[in-house]
Amino acid sequence: MTTDTSKLRQLGEHSPLPASPDEAELERVENPHADSDYCTRFTCPEFTSLCPVTGQPDFAHLVIDYVPGKWLIESKSLKLYLASFRNHGAFHEDCTVAIGKRLAELLEPKFIRIGGYWYPRGGMPIDVFWQRGTCPDNVWLPAQDVAPYRGRG
């Protein structure tokens, strides 16, 4: 089975950074192995957004795991979507959960989870976890293995 990419608007084209997550266009492609259960992982170790109160940058390490159904996320559109948060003011919980929900709505996966491992703000790291669905028993779901923040410990 081949995936028709002719309807993708960003792949292979110059695509400017979207001004906000709401303006970002996430694209999907057909899963050529929809008859098999497997896990796909995206890691974004340099995610940034803005504190909605101070306007200062916040940094996180995001790990997104999903078991696709009919659809896969097109990775360039995902990169542009995640980068669009650089000028977006929102709390850690809002950013992490909003990303998970938007991907779940678009992809309709069998299972999806996102771990947002945020660096300290005000001396306190905030980690946010969200998931939808149950991972099928026959799928290897690796641990996210992002070390908790230890400071100087």
φ/ψ of 104, rounded to 5, equals -65, -40
Token representation of residue 106: 């678009």
Confidence of residue 92 (pLDDT cuts 50, 70, 90): very high
Say what the pLDDT of residue 153 is.
56
Beta carbons of 77 and 27 less than 8 angstroms apart:
yes
Q: What pTM was computed for the model?
A: 0.90
The CA distance from 67 to 36, in Å, is 10
Tell me if residue 94 is catalytic: no
Tell me what percent of the residues of the chain surpass a pLDDT of 70.
90
Straight-line distance from the first to the last Cα atom of the chain, in angstroms, rounded to the nearest whole number: 52
What's residue 12's pLDDT? 56
Q: Are 44 and 61 in contact (CB under 8 A)?
A: yes
Set out the domains of the chain in order of their start, with CATH numbers.
28-133 (3.30.1130.10)
- Given 4, 39, 44, 51, which residue is catalytic? 51
Among 58, 65, 95, 135, the one annotated catalytic: 58
Mean pLDDT, range 39-64, rounded to an integer = 96
Higher pLDDT, 2 or 41: 41
For residue 7, give both structure tokens.
Answer: 């309807």
Nearest CA to 21 out of 93, 78, 91, 106 is that of: 78
DSSP run (H or E) holding 140: none
Give the mean pLDDT of 93-100.
98
Supply the angle between the helices 92-107 and 75-83 in degrees, to the nearest 10.
160
Residue 39 annotated among the catalytic residues of the structure:
no
Buried b (16+ CB within 10 A) or exposed e, 90-124: bbbeebbbbbbeebbeebebbbbbbbbbbeebeee
Quote the pLDDT of residue 122: 80
Query: Cα 1 to the chain's mean position, in Å?
Result: 26
